[in-house]
A and B are shown apart, each in its own frame.
Chain A
Amino acid sequence: MKKFAELYAALDESTKTTVKVAALVDYFRNATASDSAWAISFLIGRKPRQVVPSKLLREWAAELAEIPLWLFEESYHAVGDLAETIALLLPSPNIDDLIQKSLTDWVENQLQIMAKMPEQDKKQALIQSWQSMTIPERFIWNKLITGAFRVGVSQSLVTRALSELTGIEAAVLAHRMMGDWQPSPEFYFKLTQAESHETDPKQLYPFYLAHPLEQPLEELGEPGEWSAEWKWDGIRSQLIRRNGQTHIWSRGEELVTERYPELHPLAELLPDGTVIDGELLPWDFNSNLPLPFTALQKRIGRKTVTKKLLAEIPVVIVAYDLLEHESVDIRPLPFHERRSKLESMIRNMAESNHMKVSPVVNFNLWDELVEARSNSRQQMVEGLMLKRQDSPYRVGRKRGDWWKWKVQPLSMDCIMTMAQRGSGRRASLYSDYTFAVWDKPGGSLVTVAKAYSGLTDAEIGKIDAFVKKNTTDKFGPVRAVKPEIVMELAFEAIQLSPRHKSGIAVRFPRIVRIRDDKKPEDADTLDNLKQLLASFTQDSSLNESPESE
């Protein structure tokens, strides 16, 4: 655990990729196969299940630190991370009580056993474990217990390090790391063995992810080298048919086969040895368009689905790539070849309502694509995807061959009315805000959104200072502030919502900029938003923000 805590600290401290990779290589070189397997599992973001509910953790930590619970909460708001708060609050460990145990030991012989204990035993075990650890170890341990283990390490860094260590290509390692393997010495041996081994029939391929397009279209080269299609707003998925069985994976590498029974019959129509990359979407068969993403949210969490829900919110797979064909990995083939194999395969298949091929958006000139993109909202899509005709299917987020080109977001000018401290990098800074618009010109303020991303550190510092000087009221960690600061918020969609006091809900709100040039009275009104909503739901040229100037 000491070594793993040191690795975490090294990864956390450095912003340089080379330093991070070197720290990882060093760890894997010296760790046991079993520790390495667990480390990989945590580093690539597989979360352990939460063993102790946060509420109890807080209570027990406060009790051990001999402080009242409110003081624990104050501390938490300054730190912005539960695991870290607890590690810092607990009385310093007694050197004689420190115990050295491996990561595997802590996970397999403590964490997994604690998960099954009754509450009182759990508490005893947890307190004992805290007392036997240094502060950095406690921090890691708390992260594992809360199931919130997140590191600033991408999967690609881990594969790079392992590739450096073993000489195996990073793409091969990434592929072997997909799916729901169990961390074990066997897994680590298989992963790092030079020869390829029998793959699990459930095994999925690493997804190829697109970068947002930042440059003008013309810089991409000849339009003829590119293929365009809609950017769907659903769940990126892989549909696997092997050995007469169907497996559906979400982009989060979660096996979701059972949640979407309506897709099972169509999968049975697929030839054996097929892997399709596509988007899982809630579908409106009347308009033959996707339903809003919010509809899909009703299906995401459900392991069993009622008939009613199946009828209300049916899902489809919109296929856009073929990764495995006749049991052969065809990812190295050019996109246009994979695409034509996909099309002919689906053409030859018996008809299914639940499988569609993502249509190609035809264009000869870049300008036609600009035109097409402006229709995105009518098509219920987020914009366009651009794929280079001769590109292989790559691993992870790589620049150059695939680009996503989203529509301009909608926007509104709002007034910041409340602020709360952030977490992580923004710990102890007022960085999470509540925004309001006027219910009518000269009227009163109604909350419309919360947002925290979009500002630079310097801007957050400025707002933080404003909040501290202009607090009018405190509700626990939330501070009400003088309604003086106007910010422009961007969002992807707007809809009616009886759950919100304003009657309106916006999707993915984020801060575009601080409007120092605007006074509070210049902010938008509820009427402006209702007009926006009307035009958004009806149709049309919605690339303009209501009040943009």
Chain B
Amino acid sequence: MNPILELTDRGFFCPPGDFYVDPWKPVDRAIITHAHADHARPGHRHYLTTTEGLGVLKHRMPANSQISAVPYGEQVNYNGVTISLHPAGHVLGSAQVRIEHRGQIAVITGDYKTEPDRTCTTFEPIPCHLLVSESTFALPIYHWQPQSEIFDQINHWWKTNQSNGLASILMAYSLGKAQRLLAGIDPTIGSIYCHGAVEPLNAVYRDYGIALPPTQYVSETARDAKSKKTDPQWSQSLVIAPPAALGSTWMRRFSPFSTAFASGWMTIRGARRRQSLDKGFVLSDHADWNGLVASIKATGAEQVWLTHGYSATLARYLCGIGIEAKSVDTHFTGESGSSDPELTSSAPEPQESAGDS
């Protein structure tokens, strides 16, 4: 039993501070690591997030939610417990929660990636005694290639599709991945359209001051598309849509098209072939194997709890190299990501899907 952090059936709880981090049942006081649906849930009385993440969280939570924000690194005190939020590099405003009480420090990473990303502040490891880390991609087969290479691949795919008269439909999680893609691709290649789940988040990012290339909301152009059966513009364009749109009626208007998915899961050929995607781009907002191991070591934590993903595997590995670690059960998107359940659904107007992967 750790004195400052315990896992309850509502989520991670700090008894002396009387607050929760990313709880999955309604509580009084919730500190939110980031706005993905498996971490930020509606119904809490009070939310705390980062200044960078305020816009995104407001967008995701019911209108009357009480949300406060603090800049990265600034200390807040709840019942004598010192709390500060630190960059996690996952999506805009994503944070690690640092909790300090009577000399004991616990850090909850939420989801994080170690690569730089122009659309959010870069992750930094925080020294602590107890580290609660994600482990989505905790297998040594996951090695991210430099993102510049991935963006080159995407640009190349887009241009090839243009010359073959195919629209380029790129599936990406609507919060975070979509904006990172927009910031990374070459916007001079052609026009960019976004699905209804993506476009409002682009606006939130732009409002915060993240420069993104011009995008158009697809439903606005839908009526034009109906009047002319085929719109020659689609074949020159890039369309960014959430994975749930794959196979939907919404997608038909772009036909003929090539489909791709930008996700860490695309590392494995089988995962791509299962979805009958034309292309898979290996781009993730989570840390890869080396990123996880290096970050965990860098915190100097004496004890590591691993939440979702290949948590048991990473725990066993860490124990093998002398770091006390265990896997803990949370409601964060765990193994389900590995079979991409979102991808198999074919809702016509897709709902937002939880956490990247």
Q: Which chain B residues numbered 260 to 319 have a C-beta less than 8 Å away from chain A?
A: 267-274, 276, 278-279, 310, 313, 316-317
Tell me, rounded to whole Å, the shortest Cβ–Cβ distance linking B311 to chain A: 12
Tell me, rounded to whole Å, the shortest Cβ–Cβ distance linking A463 to chain B: 10
Q: Is A65 an interface residue (CB 8 A)?
A: yes
CA distance A423 to B273 in the complex (A): 12
Q: Which residues of A contact B74 (CB under 8 A)?
A: none
Q: Which residues of A contact B140 (CB under 8 A)?
A: 65, 67, 71, 75, 89
CA distance A464 to B274 in the complex (A): 14
**Do residues B273 and A78 form an inter-chain contact, with CB atoms below 8 A?**
no
**Do residues A68 and B320 form an inter-chain contact, with CB atoms below 8 A?**
yes
**Do residues B141 and A78 form an inter-chain contact, with CB atoms below 8 A?**
yes
Q: Which of A78, A426, A429 has most chain B Cβ within 10 Å?
A: A78
**Do residues A92 and B313 form an inter-chain contact, with CB atoms below 8 A?**
no
Q: Is B341 an interface residue (CB 8 A)?
A: yes
Q: Is A48 an interface residue (CB 8 A)?
A: no
**Do residues A461 and B339 form an inter-chain contact, with CB atoms below 8 A?**
yes
**Known: A14-B278, A65-B140, A89-B140. Is A427-B268 also a contact (CB below 8 A)?**
yes
**Do residues A427 and B270 form an inter-chain contact, with CB atoms below 8 A?**
yes
Q: Is A15 an interface residue (CB 8 A)?
A: yes
CA distance A424 to B341 in the complex (A): 18
| Band of interface residues on A | 20 to 34
CA distance A263 to B254 in the complex (A): 62
Q: Which of A79, A85, A423, A424 has most chain B Cβ within 10 Å?
A: A79
Digitize A417-430: 1 where CB-to-B-CB distance is under 8 Å, 0 elsewhere. Answer: 00000011111110
Tell me, rounded to whole Å, the shortest Cβ–Cβ distance linking B221 to chain A: 28
Tell me, rounded to whole Å, the shortest Cβ–Cβ distance linking B205 to chain A: 31
- CB within 8 A of B268: which of A13, A84, A457, A468? A84
CA distance A12 to B272 in the complex (A): 10
Q: Is A74 an interface residue (CB 8 A)?
A: yes
Q: Which residues of B contact A289 (CB under 8 A)?
A: none
**Do residues A88 and B267 form an inter-chain contact, with CB atoms below 8 A?**
yes
Tell me, rounded to whole Å, the shortest Cβ–Cβ distance linking A205 to chain B: 34
- CB within 8 A of A78: which of B145, B268, B278? B268
Q: Which residues of B contact A70 (CB under 8 A)?
A: 316
Q: Is B336 an interface residue (CB 8 A)?
A: yes
CA distance A325 to B260 in the complex (A): 54
**Known: A88-B143, A465-B341, A468-B335. Is A81-B313 also a contact (CB below 8 A)?**
no
Tell me, rounded to whole Å, the shortest Cβ–Cβ distance linking B241 to chain A: 20
Digitize B122-143: 1 where CB-to-A-CB distance is under 8 Å, 0 elsewhere. Answer: 0000000000000000011111
* Chain A binding surface, main DSSP class: helix
CA distance A85 to B143 in the complex (A): 12
- CB within 8 A of B270: which of A15, A71, A425, A464? A425
A65: nearest chain-B partner, CB-CB:
B140
**Do residues A79 and B317 form an inter-chain contact, with CB atoms below 8 A?**
no
Q: Which chain A residues numbered 453 to 481 have a C-beta less than 8 Å away from chain B?
A: 457-458, 461, 464-465, 468
Tell me, rounded to whole Å, the shortest Cβ–Cβ distance linking A544 to chain B: 36
**Do residues A428 and B338 form an inter-chain contact, with CB atoms below 8 A?**
yes
Q: Is A80 an interface residue (CB 8 A)?
A: yes
**Do residues A75 and B139 form an inter-chain contact, with CB atoms below 8 A?**
yes
CA distance A468 to B272 in the complex (A): 21
**Do residues A425 and B141 form an inter-chain contact, with CB atoms below 8 A?**
no
Tell me, rounded to whole Å, the shortest Cβ–Cβ distance linking B268 to chain A: 5
CA distance A74 to B344 in the complex (A): 25
**Known: A84-B269, A428-B268, A464-B339. Is A92-B143 also a contact (CB below 8 A)?**
yes
CA distance A464 to B341 in the complex (A): 10
Tell me, rounded to whole Å, the shortest Cβ–Cβ distance linking B156 to chain A: 13
- CB within 8 A of A458: which of B271, B273, B278, B344? B344
* Chain B binding surface, main DSSP class: helix
**Do residues B141 and A13 form an inter-chain contact, with CB atoms below 8 A?**
no
Q: Which residues of B contact A13 (CB under 8 A)?
A: 272, 278-279
**Do residues B339 and A428 form an inter-chain contact, with CB atoms below 8 A?**
yes
CA distance A65 to B289 in the complex (A): 12
**Do residues B139 and A424 form an inter-chain contact, with CB atoms below 8 A?**
no
B277: nearest chain-A partner, CB-CB:
A13
Tell me, rounded to whole Å, the shortest Cβ–Cβ distance linking A15 to chain B: 6
Tell me, rounded to whole Å, the shortest Cβ–Cβ distance linking A7 to chain B: 15
- CB within 8 A of B271: which of A88, A92, A427, A464? A427
Q: Which residues of A contact B268 (CB under 8 A)?
A: 78-80, 84, 88, 427-428
Q: Which residues of B contact A464 (CB under 8 A)?
A: 339
CA distance A74 to B138 in the complex (A): 11
Tell me, rounded to whole Å, the shortest Cβ–Cβ distance linking B164 to chain A: 10
Digitize A1-26: 1 where CB-to-B-CB distance is under 8 Å, 0 elsewhere. Answer: 00000000000111100000000000
CA distance A431 to B143 in the complex (A): 26
Q: Which residues of A contact B141 (CB under 8 A)?
A: 75, 78-79, 85, 88-89
A78: nearest chain-B partner, CB-CB:
B139
Tell me, rounded to whole Å, the shortest Cβ–Cβ distance linking A148 to chain B: 14
Tell me, rounded to whole Å, the shortest Cβ–Cβ distance linking B346 to chain A: 10
A458: nearest chain-B partner, CB-CB:
B344
**Do residues A429 and B269 form an inter-chain contact, with CB atoms below 8 A?**
no
A469: nearest chain-B partner, CB-CB:
B335
Tell me, rounded to whole Å, the shortest Cβ–Cβ distance linking B273 to chain A: 5
CA distance A458 to B344 in the complex (A): 7
**Do residues A425 and B320 form an inter-chain contact, with CB atoms below 8 A?**
no
Q: Which chain A residues numbered 393 to 437 have a C-beta less than 8 Å away from chain B?
A: 423-429
**Do residues A465 and B269 form an inter-chain contact, with CB atoms below 8 A?**
no
Q: Which residues of B contact A424 (CB under 8 A)?
A: 270, 273
Tell me, rounded to whole Å, the shortest Cβ–Cβ distance linking A138 to chain B: 13
- CB within 8 A of B273: which of A67, A71, A89, A425? A425
- CB within 8 A of A461: which of B139, B142, B344? B344
**Do residues B278 and A81 form an inter-chain contact, with CB atoms below 8 A?**
no
CA distance A89 to B267 in the complex (A): 11
Digitize A72-102: 1 where CB-to-B-CB distance is under 8 Å, 0 elsewhere. Answer: 0011001111001100110010000000000
CA distance A74 to B272 in the complex (A): 20
A139: nearest chain-B partner, CB-CB:
B269
Digitize A252-268: 1 where CB-to-B-CB distance is under 8 Å, 0 elsewhere. Answer: 00000000000000000
Q: Which residues of A contact B273 (CB under 8 A)?
A: 12, 424-425
Q: Which chain A residues numbered 209 to 264 have a C-beta less than 8 Å away from chain B?
A: none
**Known: A13-B279, A74-B139, A89-B141. Is A461-B270 also a contact (CB below 8 A)?**
no
- CB within 8 A of B344: which of A14, A80, A88, A457? A457
**Could you give 16 example pairs across A and B, Cβ below 8 Å?**
A13-B272, A70-B316, A71-B316, A78-B139, A80-B268, A88-B141, A88-B267, A89-B141, A92-B143, A426-B274, A427-B270, A428-B338, A428-B339, A457-B344, A465-B339, A468-B335
Q: Closest 7 A-B residue pairs measured CB to CB?
A: A427-B270, A88-B141, A75-B141, A75-B139, A425-B273, A74-B313, A67-B140
Chain B residues at the A interface, C-beta cutoff of 8 Å: 139-143, 145, 267-274, 276, 278-279, 310, 313, 316-317, 320, 335-336, 338-339, 341, 344
Chain A residues at the B interface, C-beta cutoff of 8 Å: 12-15, 65, 67-68, 70-71, 74-75, 78-81, 84-85, 88-89, 92, 423-429, 457-458, 461, 464-465, 468
- If A15-B276, A464-B339 are given as contacts, then 5 extra A-B residue pairs at C-beta distance below 8 Å, sorted by A number, are A78-B338, A79-B268, A80-B270, A81-B270, A88-B141
